[in-house]
Amino acid sequence: MNIIDELKWRDAINQQTDEKGLNDLVDEKKVGLYVGIDPTGDSMHIGHLIPFMILKRFQLAGHRPYIVIGGATGSIGDPSGKKAERKLQTMDVVEDNARKISGQMEKLFGQDGSFKIVNNYDWTSKLSLLDFLRDYGKLFNVNTMLNKEVVASRLEVGISYTEFTYQILQSIDFLHLFEDEDVQVQIGGADQWGNITAGIDLIHKIKGADAKAYGLTIPLMLKADGTKFGKTEGGAVWLDPEKTSPYEFYQFWINQDDRDVVKYLKYFTFLSEDEINDLADKVKTAPEKREAQRRLAEEVTEFVHGKDAVKEAENITKALFSGNVADLTANEIEQGFKNMPSVDVTNEKKNIVEWLVDVTKIEPSRRQAREDVTNGAIRINGEKVQDTDAEINPATHFDGKFVVVRKGKKRYFLARVK
């Protein structure tokens, strides 16, 4: 099957401007395609990842992917999916965000020259106001723009002229890439349909109705319970490991619902149809083993963070399940215990009872501390301690940075050595 047929099998296509034309195009040549992203933050989250998974598939099929960082469009704000005006960011912030997002793209797409990152500020900033109005504004009908869903949805609450012109700027991007880079396809989320079709209309007006320019959107990703994919109780799941650790990232995927996991395997992994069908069967016959979820977590974590991050995440998962934390590294402790109760301590040696009560406040009283220690309810750095005269030395494990306490079977505490 060609790349379009594969995307259909993966349920990754929502709309196409010309299905037959695009199918013929990818069969006859290596096509230039692009996805844009505005640098409104300093990291992508997994919601942003959705269209770039499609772009990556085109790259693996030998096509020419382009990534447009919206240094210009990001400075004015995309009205798509917003009920109110975006807060404008300074150009310094936009530039810093663009630099960080570009670094994340290089991790996803490699540095072998098979893809290209461009910034629309490079060509948009050269336009004068008169050029913008005469060369482009004249070609956009206000009535047509008002009927685009992205604008129509904002008319009741109001939309500024700045955000109203966003679709013109994005259309100029498509025209620029079409003319200068032979890019013929734009890919975007379902909410970008109006912007994509506006770009194709502009190309046809300037280059002629026969110009081969195409658009493809991807479906809105919803979970089986009807809620939006990618959100957790803790907020967004970021690609930046400083915002969402690789362990947390891995856990997000491994905890997916049985009803969603096959859909995500199709969308977020590069496994074959046979491999995914085999995992789908295992979801039905042995759901308790969660093999599909584990494979999903492995594949996506490796794609975003690399093989070492997968190994770390698996080490942490096994250690927390078994209680054998002694062999974890300091970095793995930092990731695995990030959201568990923690307290700051000094590196001073202390009797275990005093340390549990006076230093960490893990135990409410010396009597309770002695009872829990004697009964084997306390583990320090993975080892059961039953001697009430034992001494805690914070410097002995995890590079002297942490002491891990487990009270009972499941309650963990992290002491950070300062």
* Active site residues per annotation: 40, 45, 48, 82, 86, 170, 191, 228, 231-232
Paired residues of 36 in beta bridges: 68
Work out the angle at residue 31's Cα, subtended by the Cα atoms of residues 26 and 37, and round it to the nearest 5 degrees.
Answer: 120
- Asked if residue 138 belongs to a known ligand binding site, the reply is no
Kindly give, in sequence order, each residue whose CB lies less than 8 Å from that of residue 222, ignoring residues fewer than 6 positions away. Answer: 228, 229
Place of tokens 């395997």: 265
- Asked if residue 170 belongs to a known ligand binding site, the reply is yes
- Asked if residue 126 belongs to a known ligand binding site, the reply is no
Helix, strand, coil shares of the chain, percent, nearest 5, are 50, 15, 35
How many Cβ atoms sit within 10 Å of the Cβ of residue 123? 16
Three-state secondary-structure class, residue 83 = coil
The CB-side HSE value for 239 (13 A sphere, CA atoms) comes to 26
Residue 182, by phi and psi: left (phi above 0), alpha (psi -120 to 50) or beta?
A: left
DSSP at 270: -
Encode 215-253: b = buried (16+ Cβ within 10 Å), e = exposed: bbbbeebebeeeeebbeeeeebbbbbbebbbbbbbbbbb
Helices (H), 255-380: 258-268, 273-285, 291-305, 307-322, 330-336, 352-354, 366-374
- Asked if residue 34 belongs to a known ligand binding site, the reply is yes
Residues belonging to the binding site for L-tyrosine are 34, 166, 170
Residues belonging to the binding site are 34, 166, 170, 231
